[in-house]
Structure 1
Amino acid sequence: MNMANFGRKDGNAQFLNVANSEKLQRLQTYTHLHALMGKPDDHPSVKGQKAALQDRIVEAAKKNQRLAGDQTQTRAMLHIIGQGQATQLSAEIRRHAEIFAKKADDLMNEGKAIVDSVLGADNYDREVAGEIAQFISRRTQTPEGMAEVGALYKSRSDVASVIYTRPHFLLGVSEELHRTMVATAVSKFAPEGSALLNEGRSLGEKTKNFEKVVADTHASFYDADVVAKAEASRVEV
C-alpha cells in the first residue's frame, strides 16, 4: 500500500474509501456473507438464488477494489463510478430481499398448515384433550411427573397435540420450556412441517440482515463527500 496516499479522502490505488476498506474486503469473502445472509445450503428453497446473489456481491466488491487502481479516470470520476456500482448492487440485493422475505412467509404458512393437519385441535376429541391438559398441569409440578409427561408427549400424538395447541400457563410449564416442548412435538409427529417452519424462520431472520450488506456496500464502494463535491462542480455545457 502507498502510505503517502493512505487516508486521502479520494482513496488510494487499492481502495476508493480507505476508511472502510475492511468492509470492502469482508464483502469479498463468502465466510462473512454466509454469517450475515445465511449459507445457500441452509435454505434449500432459494439455494440457487442465494448462491448466485452472493457470487454477485463478491464479484462486485472485487471489481470495485480493482477500480481504485484505474489511472484512466480522475479520482472524482472513480468515486462516481463506484457509487453507480453500489447503487446497482444494492438494488439487486433489495430485490432478492423481497423475494426471500415472501418465500420465508410462504414456508412458515405451509409448514404450519402441515403441522395443524397432524396436531391441530380439530383432529382430537376436545373432552379428552381437556382431561389430558389437566393431567399435564398436575404432573408437571414434580420432576418425576415432568419426566412422565416428557415420555408421553414424545410417543402419543394426542398428548403432543395438547402441548402444541394449549398455552403454557394452562399446562403448568414456563413459556421457554413450552416452546421447547412444542418444537420437539412438531419435529416428532410432523417432521416435514417442522423442516419448513425451521427454514422459513431462518430465512426470514437472515433476510433482515440484507440492509446491512447494502449499507456496507455504499460505505465502502465510494466516498459520498467526494461524489457530492464532484457533482457540485459539474458545469453544464
Structure 2
Amino acid sequence: MFLVRNDKAQSFLTALGTNTGRKVALGDFEKLERVKPNVQGMHLRAKETYEKLRLLHFDQTRKTVDKHVAARTLATQLVQAATNTRNEIVSQSNALSESGQRAADETFAPLGNRATYDAKTLDWIKETAAQPDGIGKIKAEANKSIAVASVLYNSPHFLTGLAEQVHSNMRLSAVEKYAPKAYAELQESVELAGLVPKYDKFAANVHSSFYTPAIAEQADTRVDIEA
C-alpha cells in the first residue's frame, strides 16, 4: 500500500490516515484555541498528502524511481507546512510566556515601603522551613497573604531555606491564586511548547516513511537526451 514497507513506516502512515493518529502527532486543534487555524490546517494538509501518497502506490504511469521522487516531493511539501505550523506554535508560546511572566511580576512587585516587613517575612520563612511541619505552615500563610506570597515569589530559593523544586511549586501556586490570568497564560505557553518536539518528530518520520532516498536519488542519473 505504501512505498516504504518497514514496520515503522507502515505504523506511522497508517496512523497518519486517521483522525486519532493525526491528533497524536500534531495536537488536537479543538483544544488549542490560540493556534487552532494553524493546527487544523496542518491536519487537513496531512490528510490530503496521505491520500496522494496512498494512491501513488497504484499509479501505473510511474515507474518505481519516479514514484519515490514524487513521494519525496510530497514529503518536502508536508514537512515545510509542518515547520511553518511549528514556528507559529513557538511564537505563540513565547508570547504567552512573556505576557504571563510580566503580569505575574507586576502582581508581586516589591513595594519600597514594605522592605522591613519583607525582610522579617523572609527570616520567618527560612526559620519555619527548617521545622518538621514548616512547609505546610508557609503554604498556609502564602495562601492567606499576598504579602507572604510576594516574598516567596521574589526571593531566590537559597535564601528561603526551601528546596528549589518546593520553592518553585510555591511560586507557581502563588501565581495561580493571586494572578490567575497570568497563570493561565503560563500554562497555555507550556502546553504549546510541549507540541514542538512532536512536530520535530513528525517531520523526521515523514521523510523516513514516505520514500527511500537511495531509490529517489537514482533519478539524478537520468540523461536528458533532448538537451
Tell whether the structures are fold-level matches, with TM greater than 0.5: yes
**Alpha-carbon distance, 1:98 to partner:** 1.5
Which residue in 1 is equivalent to 2:66?
77
**Alpha-carbon distance, 1:150 to partner:** 1.1
Alignment of structure 1 residues 187-206 onto 2, 5 Å: 187-206=176-195
Count how many residue pairs are aligned between Structure 1 and Structure 2.
224
**Alpha-carbon distance, 1:43 to partner:** 3.0
Identify which range, 144-153 or 101-110, moves more after superposition.
144-153
**Alpha-carbon distance, 1:124 to partner:** 7.1
Which residue in 2 is equivalent to 1:129?
118
Task: Tell me if the contact between 1:24 and 1:216 (Cα under 8 Å) persists in the aligned partners.
Answer: no
Task: Tell me if the contact between 1:68 and 1:78 (Cα under 8 Å) persists in the aligned partners.
Answer: yes
Which residue in 2 is equivalent to 1:16?
3
SS in 1 for 2:214: helix
TM-score (norm 1): 0.87
**Alpha-carbon distance, 1:205 to partner:** 2.9
Name the CA shift for 1:173/1:30 in 2 (closer, same or farther; >3 Å).
farther
Say yes or no: does 1:91 pair with 2:77. no
Which residue in 2 is equivalent to 1:184?
173
**1:67 is aligned with what amino acid?**
L
Alignment of structure 1 residues 32-47 onto 2, 5 Å: 32-47=21-36
**Alpha-carbon distance, 1:174 to partner:** 0.7
TM-score (norm 2): 0.90
Say yes or no: does 1:158 pair with 2:144. no
**Alpha-carbon distance, 1:97 to partner:** 1.5
> Where has structure 1 moved over 3 Å in runs of 4 or more?
29-38
**Alpha-carbon distance, 1:200 to partner:** 1.0
Identify which range, 165-174 or 53-62, moves more after superposition.
53-62
Mapped partners of 2:180, 2:62: distance in 1: 58
**Alpha-carbon distance, 1:64 to partner:** 0.9
Q: Any stretches of 5+ residues in structure 1 without a counterpart? A: 1-13
Amino-acid identity (%): 25
**2:10 is aligned with what amino acid?**
S
RMSD: 1.9
Match of 1:140 among 126, 129, 135: 129
Task: Tell me if the contact between 1:27 and 1:33 (Cα under 8 Å) persists in the aligned partners.
Answer: yes
**Alpha-carbon distance, 1:44 to partner:** 2.2
Mapped partners of 1:236, 1:163: distance in 2: 76
**Alpha-carbon distance, 1:70 to partner:** 1.5
Mapped partners of 2:161, 2:22: distance in 1: 42
Q: Any stretches of 5+ residues in structure 2 without a counterpart? A: none
**Alpha-carbon distance, 1:128 to partner:** 1.4
SS in 1 for 2:99: helix
